[in-house]
A and B are shown apart, each in its own frame.
Chain A
Amino acid sequence: MSTAVDTEQVYAVAAAVFAAMIDGDEGLLTPWYGDLPLVEEPLSAWVDLHGELPGRAALVCEAATAHDLTRALLMMEADEEVDDQDLVDAFGEIANVVGGNVKSLLPVQDTLGLPEVAHGHPPAAEGHVAQELRLSWRGQLIVVTIWLVG
């Protein structure tokens, strides 16, 4: 794994994003302990880092989890229906904020792309997996992956 960003830094970024934007409180995003469940209906969001130190920051989880994240972000009721536009916007914005904060940790500052959201696992980026964090948000699996070239 790369030394450009370490596990604690990426976890701190993700924890801060979830605490401030989604939960309004700390401690609801924790490391995932135990075996990983099969993600049956994966939904991914990612943002690319361009420039001297290119890479990608991505989140993947069950589509149902992304719906719950959107409800939490928009302060919707638990049984309220999430439309596709809000889902893509909200889930993409979470990846955008995680990616932007990870970019701030890098020694070289370049540009950040616009967030993308797609069904399935995130497409592998150039370079290597610098960090892969398996996280539990309210008991639901979210995997954060950071690719970096160099």
Chain B
Amino acid sequence: MIRVLVADDSRVMRQIVVRTLRQAGYDWHVREAENGAQALAAVREDEPDVVLSDWNMPEMTGIELLRALRAEGFETPFGFVTSEGSAEMRETADAAGALFLIAKPFTAESFRDVIEPVLA
């Protein structure tokens, strides 16, 4: 079972991400966080196999979350699921240590394409 932490301030979007993960296959154990700060606390408490995070969230953004995790020594595989998929954001995400960026809207296929190499 793959333990995933899904961070997004939209409950609807978290629900869609979880649904898409299940459509993409694998057996997921899902935890959810409403913002970066909650996600950071959740990783400190119990590090998941992978973090999927929105970029733009209140309290703490996704990129702030990623930088905080790396600063604390967590090497948790991390990917963004965001409505903003510009080349500049991809570069920023990559520089901070993200493994991938999935742009919304997404499909089960696009999830599978980026997550499979991470899980391999």
A interface residues, Cβ below 8 angstroms from B: 16-17, 19-21, 70, 73-75, 85-86, 89-90, 92-93, 96-97, 99-101, 103-104, 109, 111-112, 114
Of B36-44, B64-72, B77-85, the segment with at least 4 beta carbons within 8 Å of chain A is: B77-85
Report how far A99 CA is from B9 CA in the complex, Å: 16
Q: Smallest CB-CB separation from B92: which chain A residue?
A: A109
Specify the main secondary structure of chain A where it touches its partner. helix
Q: Given that A17-B105, A112-B56 are contacting pairs, would A104 and B84 also be in contact in the complex, using a CB cutoff of 8 Å?
A: yes
Residue from A17, A70, A89 in contact with B10 in the complex, judged by beta carbons closer than 8 Å: A89
Interface size class of B (residues with CB under 8 A): 20 to 34
Within 8 A of A (CB), among B88-104: 88-89, 103-104
Does A100 contact B104, Cβ atoms closer than 8 Å?
A: yes
| B12 touching A112, Cβ below 8 Å | no
In the assembled complex, the CB of A83 is this many whole angstroms from the nearest CB of chain B, namely 11
Given contacts A74-B12, A89-B10, A100-B82, 14 further A-B contacts (CB under 8 A): A17-B104, A20-B106, A21-B104, A74-B15, A86-B11, A89-B11, A100-B84, A100-B104, A101-B103, A103-B84, A104-B84, A104-B85, A109-B88, A112-B56
Interface secondary structure of B, over-half rule: loop
Residue of B with least CB distance to A17: B105
Question: Do B12 and A93 touch across chains, with their CB atoms under 8 A apart?
Answer: yes
Q: Chain A residues with Cβ under 8 A from B103's Cβ?
A: 100-101, 104
**Closest 3 pairs between A and B when the two form their complex, measured CB to CB:** A100-B83, A20-B105, A100-B84
A80 to B83 Cα, complex, angstroms: 28
Asked whether, in the complex, the Cβ of A97 is within 8 Å of the Cβ of B11, the reply is no
Per-residue CB contact flags for chain B residues 53-64 toward chain A (1 = under 8 Å, else 0) read: 000101000000
Contact B83 A101 (CB under 8 A): yes
Distance of A19 Cα from B56 Cα, bound (Å): 23
Alpha-carbon gap, A126 to B78, bound state (A): 37
List residues of chain B with CB within 8 A of the CB of A104. Answer: 84-86, 103
Bound-state CA distance A103–B104 (Å) is 13
Q: Which residue of A lies closest to B106 (CB)?
A: A20
**Which residues of chain B (5-41) have a CB below 8 Å from chain A?**
9-13, 15-16, 19
Q: Indicate whether B76 reaches chain A with its CB closer than 8 angstroms.
A: no
A-B contact pairs, 14 of them (CB 8 A): A20-B106, A21-B16, A21-B105, A74-B15, A89-B11, A90-B12, A92-B10, A93-B12, A99-B83, A100-B103, A100-B104, A101-B84, A112-B84, A114-B9
